[in-house]
Structures are given as C-alpha cells and as structure tokens.
Structure 1
Amino acid sequence: MRHLHLLSAAALLVVAACSKGGEKPAAEPPAPPPTPMAFVTVIYNIPKDAKAFEKYYWESHIPLVNSKAAEIGFTAAELTKFDATLDGKAPTYYRQAVLWFKSMADLETGIATPGFAAVGNDLGNFSTGGLVGMIGEETSDASALLTGDTTAFVTVIYNHPKDAAAFESYYADNHLPLVGRGASEMAFTRAELTRFTKNLDGTPATFYRQAKLYWPNAAALKTGTGTA
C-alpha cells in the first residue's frame, strides 16, 4: 500500500542550528532532556451497539472523567473516533481516549487514585466490544499537546516488531526523515509519536508504538493523503 508506507509514522521534524564560519563560541553544557510526557490510553473495539455506546459515553462516562480530573491529575485529554482504514475499509477499532500526564511518576500517582478506579470500573458499562488499555510515553515534542487539538488525523498502531532495536534504528534514521521530507507536501499541522510501555494491568503492552499526523479538517487530510 503506497500511502500506508508514507504515513505509517508521524514526522519528528529536526531543526539543526547553523552558525557562520569564524570563531566559535565556548560550548555550553547541554541542557538536560525534558521529562517525556506519559499517557494512559484506551482503544475501544467496535461496540455491539454504537448508538448505545455513544449515548453512555457522552452522557455518563465523560462527565465522570471530568469530575475526577483534578484527583487523577492529567493535564490534557484526547478523544477520537476512527472513520476508516487508510485503504477506505471499515475501521479496525472504534474509538481512542488518551489522558496525558506531565511525567510517568505523575501518571503512576494518578492511576492509583480512587477517581481513576471509578473511571476504570465504568468502562464495562458501555464498552461491549472490548478494549485495550495501555500506558506509554511521548517520544516526540510534547509541547503541542497542551495547545489544543486538530480535528482530523491519520494514525498507525504498530504491533511488536521481531527486532525492536532494528525497528528503532530504521525508524529514527530512515523512516522519520522520509516523512519529514514530505511534510510540506502533505501539509499536516502536528505530529505525535508514542511508545507503549505496558498494559494498564501491568502485563506487556498489547501494541508497540503509535504515530499520528494531524490536519485541521477532513478535506485537508484527504488532500494530504493523496500526495505522492
């Protein structure tokens, strides 16, 4: 699938600082890397009754999450609904919800609260198709997460590779630069790269990585995914 390869990871755009020739300033000690933001995500399978799911989700579950937000301590939330696969078929999954925390330490504190337990216990009241709950970390620039979201996106959820080291090497050295070179043509407005660390119950993560490219609307996404 031509477009799947091109869009199977979000671009981490690297900007290199350039200096003119001549005397070089004294090197300053490198700043410590920022603490990566951490997240809890739930990926919902297709429910038995989508209408009933949506009704309970918006009228009961989301208000419950909002009422526990201060106790849980997340800093941002993303609620998304999948429309189709990249080749136009019915979506593999139904919805995804993500709660973002400033750090993994904050996440671990948040998911140990009674408020988070109440949210988790509520999932069975409407997720009739089942779900996958995971924990992970942002592996690209997290600054855009706190500035709002865009409305349309393409995402790829990676299964575990046979060789994780080889995957990461190719991903960083070849695939992300490839997507970066096509960024202006595709005209996406934000990129998000994440890696799952474990399932919510502490077992090994069901999936390996996720990548998203965001556009301001569905029309822009259609144009961007139609590029060569």
Structure 2
Amino acid sequence: MAQITVAAESKYREKWLPKIQSYDSLEKLTDALVDWRFNSRPPKERSGDYRWVEAKMEEHLAKLKAEKMASNDLLTQTTRGEALDPVRENYIKQAKEADDIIKLESVVEEFRERYRPPIMPVHDYLQIERELCEILLRYRGERWWDLDVQELRKYRGAKMVKADGQFAHSLMVFYPKPKNAASFDKVYMEEHVPLAKKLGAKLFRANKVVSTIPRGLAKPILSALMKSRLVPDSVISFLFPHIDLIRAMSGEGAPYYLTAELHFDDLASLEVAAGSSAAKEAIGHAMEISTGGAPSLMILESDLALDEVAGKARPPVKLTICFPRQPDVDAFEDVWVNDIVPMAMKIPCESLKAYKVTGTVDGSPAPFHRIAELYYNDQEQMKATVCTQEIRDVIAKILSMSPVPLVIISENA
C-alpha cells in the first residue's frame, strides 16, 4: 500500500512540476499561486500535495522575482507591481470598518493568502499582518466575553469530541499492607474480587505491589539515579528490585500492598455503579478485610492514553508515579502539561496512562492529585528503561518539585 501511495504522489507531482516551471510571468504565476491557495485547500487536494505544489510555486516565484524585478522594486513592490503603502492602507481600512467578526477574519485571511511571501517582501508583510491581527484581537476581546460557551463553540465551528464528565473514569483502590498478607490474599481473591466485578466496570484489574519508593526515600534515591557518573547503570538496575531492602534499612515501611482499578466509560457510569447496592457491599467488604488500615478509594479521570489497544490486556508490570496533593494546583498543572507529560511520552514503555484524581468515594481529601502509569512486559524491560536518558529527564523535573511523588512498582495480582 505504501508503494502505491508513493507512486501516486510522484505521478501527481510530476504532472505539476513542468506546469509550474512553464510560468515566465511574475503576474501570471502570482495569480496562479493565489488561486491555488484559495481554491485547492484540503480536502479538495490532499494536504501533502497541496503544500508541495504551493511550495514549488513559491520557489519558482522567488526565482522569477530575483531575475525580473529591479533591485529597488524588490523591497517596495509586490510581484504584481503594486506599491506597498496602498495595499496596507486598503486592508487596514477594511479591517477597521468591519462590523462583524467573520468579516474581519475574512479580511485578515484574504491578506495572508494574497500577499504571503514571496508575493510581498517579508518585512512589510509581517508588519501589516501584525497590525491586522492587533485589530482582530481587540475586536475578539471586546465581544467574545459576551458569548456563552455554547454560542462560542457554534460560532467557531468547534465540535465537542467529549464533554465534561464524558472522559473515561476509574475507581482506584489503594490497600495498606495487611497484618496477615497470606490471609488477605486469600480473602481478597476468593471473596472480594467477585463482589467488585458485580459493579459493572468494563475492566477490573488488581496489582500486587512489588516494591515502593516512599516519599521520604524518593528524593535521595532519585538524586542518586541522576548522578550517572557516580551510579552506573548496573547499580541502577540492581537498585529498583531491591527497594524493599533499602526501605527496611531505613525503617520506613511500604505504604501500600495492593492496588485495584475499576474502569468505566464515563463519570455517569461510575456514579451509577458507586450508588448501587453492589458498591455498598463491595466497599463495606473492602473496609472489613483491609486490616492494615482503611483503603483509599479515589475517583480518577483518564486524560492520556498512549499505545493502549482496545480489548488487549495491559502488560503485567506497572510503574506508577503518584503525585501528592499540590499547594498550588495551577502551577503544578502548568508543569504537568508543558513539562512532565511531553517528557513522559518519550519514555520507552509498552503503554502509558495518566489520570487526574477528581475526588474520593467518601468525600475525604484524596492523597494524590495526579497519577501516571507506565506498563512493561517484565521487570527486565522496566529496569532497562530506568537507565535511559528519557527517564532521567523526568526524574530531574520530579526532583525540582515539592512534595516529591510516590513511586510504586507492581505486577498483576
């Protein structure tokens, strides 16, 4: 299929190349370029072909411009021979007289398509475009605040893919370490899992915590990981599966023993399930069997899924990074969107999930604000990832944050 596509593109572009090169008139080629910009946009022409033809036209026009225009005219005229000042005055006048936002946007768009370089000298084009955009932004600022969200979406032609609350939501349960692990495992698998599956979640998954980097130890351990010259990859690979030993030496216990996830299509589905008698029974049973303390039942909104295939089981090993509640949520969200997520998307893993914690079942404060999950096929694959520059970049960003997140390594229960 790829070869057919390439051949089709080559044939299409081969047809256009001699046609473009046949132009020897600045005015005719300028008119052809403007016509192409206005009348051949996708979907009429495929995006790649549209841009390719436009670029070739611009390239040929620039050559003709250098060959045919006098040196003084290159900086004072368009390729149609128009003086620049009258063009500017015409469009500024139209913009100021526009009494409707659509008309004003059309003025700006028309100027861009008719005069984008090489038709007009770059400096003058940018100057006029800046003036037009200032008028446009002032107009928008004065009037857009009068529109409600629905009117604004309709005006802009915005299509809502999913409205608020319609993103996938999950119920995530964190169980503290029980007094008797073997007894908990037996009761959980034989009694609790059947109760949890009655809630109607589209997916239920339980993970046994293999090791944890508690917050008190996270910073020194992560700092050690960052000092690659002092801590070679072999030591880093050894470190992660032996976090329990480090934790025992420090006297700090693992905060969680098992995590469970119940995934729903949207918030409404989760709320229906949470209000059911089956949920009351399952939650009551969870409280009863959690002998190490009350479990934390958090409501999560999924806002990032990378390389996740519908219907395919998730890989068995999971690296979870839990970001605590933040003193300045807006500042954290800015770092999350602009720094952490772009860097996390570069980390080698089988799939990546990210959640925003929106609340808890009982209304108590949630221990975390954001949760990110990286999935791997086995421990060896995960340990190899720890040695990459991509995860070191994320670690560097995490170290600059306060409070430091909790890192959990778990496997399918």
Q: Same fold (TM over 0.5)?
A: yes
Cα displacement (A) at 1:32: 2.1
1:76 paired residue number:
203
Tell me the distance in 2 between the aligned counterparts of 1:51 and 1:189: 31
Q: Which has the larger radius of gyration?
A: 2
What is the count of residue pairs matched by the alignment? 199
| Partners of 2:336 and 2:297 in 1: CA distance | 25
Identify the residue that residue 121 of structure 1 maps to in structure 2.
284
Give the equivalent residue in structure 2 for 1:222: 383
In 2, Cα distance between equivalents of 1:162 and 1:19: 45
**Larger fraction in helix:** 2
Is 2:268 the partner of 1:105? yes
SS at match of 1:84: strand
- Residue in 1 that maps onto 2:212: 85
Q: TM-score, normalised by structure 1?
A: 0.79
2:342 is equivalent to residue 177 of structure 1: yes
> Offset of 1:141 from its aligned partner?
2.8
Equivalent residue letter for 1:89: I
Output the CA distance in 1 between the equivalents of 2:158 and 2:305.
17
SS of residue in 2 equivalent to 1:82: strand
Tell me if 1:133 matches 2:264.
no
Contact 1:39 1:99 in 2 (8 A): yes
Aligned residue for 2:313, secondary structure, equals coil
SS of residue matched to 1:148: coil
Aligned equivalents of 1:139 and 1:83: distance in 2? 26
User: Is contact 1:76–1:145 with CA below 8 Å preserved after alignment?
Assistant: no
CA-CA distance at 1:226 after TM superposition: 2.3
Q: How far apart, in 2, do the equivalents of 1:122 and 1:204 lie?
A: 22
In the TM superposition, what is the alpha-carbon distance from 1:161 to its structure 2 partner? 1.3
Cross-structure match for 2:251: none
Structure 1 CA distance for aligned equivalents of residues 322 and 270 of structure 2: 22
Partner residue, 1:44? 175
Cα separation, 2, equivalents of 1:168 and 1:196: 12
Q: State how far apart, in whole Å, the 2-side matches of 1:113 and 1:84 are.
A: 34
> For 2:158 and 2:376, how far apart are their aligned partners in 1?
34
Residues 130-169 of structure 1: pairs in structure 2 closer than 5 A: 130=293, 131-141=295-305, 144=309, 146-169=311-334
- Letter of the 2:369 partner, please give it: Y
Distance 1:223 1:109 in 2: 42
- The residue number in structure 2 matching 1:3 is none
* Counterpart-to-counterpart distance in 2, 1:132 and 1:84: 19
Q: Work out the CA distance in 2 between the residues paired with 1:52 and 1:162.
A: 39
Which ranges of structure 1 fall in alignment gaps of 5 or more residues? 1-17
Report the residue type matching 2:334 in the other structure: S
Paired position in structure 2 for 1:33: 161
CA contact (8 A) 1:133 1:200 kept: yes
Q: Deviations over 1:76-130 (max 9, x none)?
A: 1121111112554334311100101111011111111111111111113321012
Gaps (5+ residues) in structure 2? 1-45, 55-155, 214-220, 222-241, 245-253, 390-413
CA distance in 2, matches of 1:195, 1:94: 22
Question: Which residue pairs with 1:199 in the alignment?
Answer: 360
The residue type paired with residue 53 of structure 1 is F
Structure 1 residue 145, shift from structure 2 partner: 6.3
Q: What secondary structure sits across from 1:79 in the alignment?
A: strand
- Cα distance, 1:31 vs. partner? 4.1
- Structure with bigger RCO (C-alpha 8 Å, 6+ apart): 1
Secondary structure, counterpart of 1:58 in structure 2:
helix
What's the TM-score once normalised by structure 2's chain length?
0.45
Deviation at 1:179, TM superposition (A): 2.5
Give the 3-state SS of the residue equivalent to 2:368 in structure 1.
Answer: coil
CA apart distance, 1:146:
4.4
Q: 2:351 aligns with which of 187, 190, 208?
A: 190
Task: Mark the CA change 1:205 to 1:78 in structure 2 (over 3 Å): closer, same or farther.
Answer: same
SS at match of 2:304: coil
Aligned residue identity for 1:219: E
1:76–1:146 CA contact under 8 A, matched in 2: no
| CA–CA separation in structure 2 for the residues paired with 1:42 and 1:145 | 23
